[in-house]
Amino acid sequence: MLSILIPTYNHSIVALVKGVHQQATKAKIPFEILVLDDCSTDLKISIDNERINQLEFCDLQKNQKNIGRTASRNFLASKASYELLLFLDADVLPKYDDFIDRFELHKIKNSKIVFGGVCYKLEKPSKELILRWKYGHKRETKSVKERNKNSYSIVSSSLLIDKEVFFKNNTSTVNTYGLDILFSGNLQKNRVKVKHIDNPVYHLGLEKNSAFLNKSLQAVKSTYLLEKNSQIEKDIRPLQKSYQKLKKWKLITLFNVVLNQFYKVIESNLLSNHPSMVLFDLYRLNYLIELKKNKN
């Protein structure tokens, strides 16, 4: 019935696999857990993860070279025995003890995708991790009601999906950050219904502030390139909508000039202990403007 697929790179997945394995066993459903180690460089973690092979219906394979998360997911999906796939990131843990049961697998024949949401621990992390934690709380942690307002705004850290739907809509062939928007855009274009439920996972893997800031700019560039190549519409992300408003009001040049004057001040704030999400949005919007201006 269910193939649970987990790509990992330099991250311990023993606790996650054991927990999900216990829940799937308790749910009394046919299942398998397939893990792909994408050529981890941390030998200790890589060896420790091999313990999951001792669990029934679990299999860990290892890549000889790093191929990235997108390709790893495609590989796992191609090896899946069942038509129902549950993708999990390596750095998550289910919030609820009945995580598997909450999907109500016997009742979702007409639901091709089920998204349970993502959340973050309430405890404030160290200063060097605060930007990712705050962004997660302010922008990613949403109730079912909030998610239903924009049902295609999903992240793939915990996603239940029909195998055929996955392959039809997962059209990316590159290894880069910020490709969930392409997947979401394809789902919207193909009118695939997304069911939202209350079944989040905790995102535990917080990057350092500077690393997350760089990843955020990578995601903006991915959006820019996808839009430029007509792979997504021009108004899927809030960032794109903000750009279109500035363009409509003929304020792009003024915005760009002003933001560039305060670039270092804004960046300093984002790397501080009290990063502003408003400044974070302005910072990324200005980067999008720069990309479009220079046509990178």
Are the C-beta atoms of 23 and 97 separated by less than 8 Å? Answer: yes
Q: Look at residue 147 and tell me if it is in a domain.
A: no
Query: Helices 238-248 & 252-261, crossing angle to 10 degrees?
Result: 120
Please spell the DSSP secondary structure of 201-223, one letter per residue: EEE--PPPHHHHHHHHHHHHHHH
The answer to whether residues 188 and 214 belong to one domain is: no
271 within a domain of the structure (yes/no)? yes
Do 249 and 215 share a structural domain?
yes
pLDDT in tens, 44-89: 999 999 999 999 999 999 999 999 888 899 999 999 999 999 999 9
Do 216 and 192 have their domain in common?
A: no
Full domain range(s) for residue 181: 2-117+154-205
Spatial separation of the C-alpha atoms in residues 201 and 203, rounded to whole Å: 6
Rounded CA separation 120/122 (Å)? 6
pLDDT value, residue 179: 79
Is residue 237 domain-shared with residue 218, that is, in the same domain?
A: yes
Say which CATH number the domain at 160 has.
3.90.550.10
Say if residue 238 is in the same domain as residue 218.
yes
Looking at the structure, do residues 49 and 165 belong to the same domain, yes or no?
yes
Q: Which residues of the chain have pLDDT under 70?
A: 109, 173-175, 178, 296
Indicate whether 197 and 217 sit together in one domain: no
Q: How far apart are CA 228 and CA 243, in angstroms?
A: 14
Rounded CA-CA distance 253/103 in Å is: 48
Residue holding tokens 């479009």? 292
| 190 and 107 housed in the same domain | yes
Q: Which residues pair with 3 in a beta bridge?
A: 32, 85
| Pair 182, 222 in one domain | no
Strand order in the sheet with 118-119: 92-94, 201-203, 118-119
Q: Provide the pairing of β-strand 113-115 with 118-119.
A: unpaired
The answer to whether residue 87 sits within a structural domain is yes
Does 136 fall in a domain?
Answer: no
Query: Would you say residue 272 lies in a domain?
Result: yes
215 shares a domain with 200: no
pLDDT of residue 90: 97
Domain membership of residue 110 (yes or no) is yes
**71 found inside a domain:** yes
User: What whole-number distance in Å separates Cα of residue 143 and Cα of residue 9?
Assistant: 29
Q: Among the three residues 141, 172, 205, which one is the final residue of a domain in this structure?
A: 205
Which of 144, 172, 205 marks a domain boundary?
A: 205
Side-chain half-sphere of 176: how many Cα atoms within 13 Å? Answer: 19
Helices (DSSP H) in the chain: which residue ranges? 14-26, 43-49, 69-79, 130-135, 144-148, 163-169, 180-189, 209-228, 238-248, 252-261, 263-270, 277-294
For residue 140, being part of any structural domain is answered with: no
* The pLDDT value given to residue 36: 98
Q: CA 226 → CA 180, 217, 223, 233, 238, distances in Å?
A: 11, 14, 5, 9, 15
Which pLDDT belongs to residue 109?
Answer: 67
Residues 15, 82, single domain; the answer is: yes
3 state SS for 127-190: HHHHHHHHHHHHHHCCCHHHHHCCCCCCCCCEEEEEHHHHHHHCCCCCCCCCCHHHHHHHHHHC
**Among 225, 144, 231, 246, CA closest to 189:** 231
Determine the pLDDT at residue 114: 96
Over residues 88-104, the pLDDT tens digits come to 999 999 999 999 999 99
- Count: domains in the chain: 2
Q: Does 178 lie in the same domain as 39?
A: yes
H or E stretch at 61 = strand 58-62
**CA atoms of 181 and 224, how far apart (whole Å):** 11
The pLDDT value recorded for residue 69 is 87
Residue 140 in tokens: 């990613």
Provide the 10 A C-beta neighbour count for residue 11: 19
